[in-house]
Amino acid sequence: MRAMTMLIVLAGTACILAPGCGKEPAAQADTQPFEQAITRYLAQKNMGMKVAEFRSLEVQGDLAQAVCRMAEASGMHNVKVTWSFEFERNAEGGWEVVGHKRE
């Protein structure tokens, strides 16, 4: 009986110490409107890059920030770089990139 009690205490402690244990997973933001905004931005600036992966996306009202892994658009090179993008909501309710920087 003592061994069973010890196992319950250990399992409970592990759950308390484990990040996110017993919590609902955070809802994933829809990245599609942001990827479209990045694609327009890159085309306007004649940059031969494309989004390979979203690392993070934070939306706060009419402002947003995303960190993305970027790849060369033609796919000829397998080099990826990380860029941070700043967004603002436009008059139509869509998103526009207002700046970027290489991480």
Could you list the residue range(s) of the whole structural domain that residue 82 is in? Answer: 31-102
The pLDDT assigned to 78 comes to 85
Chain segment 16-25, per-residue pLDDT in tens: 445 545 544 4
For 46-82, the pLDDT digits (tens) are: 999 999 999 999 999 999 999 999 999 988 888 899 9
Residue 22 lies in a domain: no
Beta strands, E only, 1-103: 49-60, 63-72, 80-89, 95-102
Q: Name the residue with tokens 């090179």.
A: 77
Residue pair 48/73 in contact by the 8 Å Cβ criterion? yes
Write out 36-51 in H/E/C secondary structure.
Answer: HHHHHHHHHCCCCEEE
Cα–Cα distance for residue pair 32/37, rounded to 1 Å: 9
Task: Domain count for the chain, please give it.
Answer: 1
- Give domain status of residue 9, yes or no: no
Q: From 77, 25, 26, select the one nearest 52 (Cα to Cα).
A: 77
Question: Is residue 6 assigned to a domain?
Answer: no
Residue 7 lies in a domain: no
In a domain? residue 58: yes
Q: Which residues pair with 72 in a beta bridge?
A: 49
Calpha distance 19→92 (Å, rounded): 39
The domain that contains 93 carries what CATH number? 3.10.450.630
